[in-house]
Amino acid sequence: EVQLVESGGALEKTGGSLRLSCVASEFNFIDAWMTWVRQAPGKGLEWVGRVKSKIDGETEEYAAPVKGRFTISREDSKNTLYLQMNSLRTEDTAVYYCTTDDGRLWGQGTLVTVSS
């Protein structure tokens, strides 16, 4: 089955760090541009950032609220996407989804809670 499975969500204090992972199954992860999207409690969907495939340069783009604090990376040998989150703020509290860049495939999400 084609799927994305996120993990790593947790309760963390403001200023702390977390790393989320997303493992892809049964699709061509190596050639896929991958994205993180988040959803704060009771709110809409917010794009976090994207990493291109290695063959396309593996470059990243980020949304303004996370730029300089979050880093997206990938490990193609493990079909895994990462989101390193540093200097966490309470407003980063959300469910984080791993998706393909074209928005067609979504993981089930992992909850990050940031508390002071």
Partner 1 sequence: DIQMTQSPSTLSASIGDRVTITCRASQSIGFWLAWHQQKPGKAPKTLIYQASNLESGVPSRFSGSGSGTEFTLTITSLQPDDFATYYCQQVSGYPRTFGQGTKVESK
If the CB atoms of residues 68 and 77 are measured against partner 1, the closer one turns out to be: 68
Q: Which stretch binds partner 1 (CB under 8 A): 14-22, 24-32, 57-65, 79-87?
A: 57-65
Angle in degrees, CA 100, 104, 105, rounded to 5: 60
The footprint of partner 1 on this chain (CB under 8 A) covers a number of residues equal to: 20
Q: Which stretch binds partner 1 (CB under 8 A): 7-15, 21-29, 83-91, 96-104?
A: 96-104
Distance CA 20, CA 7 (A): 6
How many other CB atoms sit within 10 Å of the CB of residue 115? 11
Tokens, residue 4: 């994305």
> Which positions touch partner 1 (CB under 8 A)?
35, 37, 44-47, 50, 61, 63-64, 97, 101-109
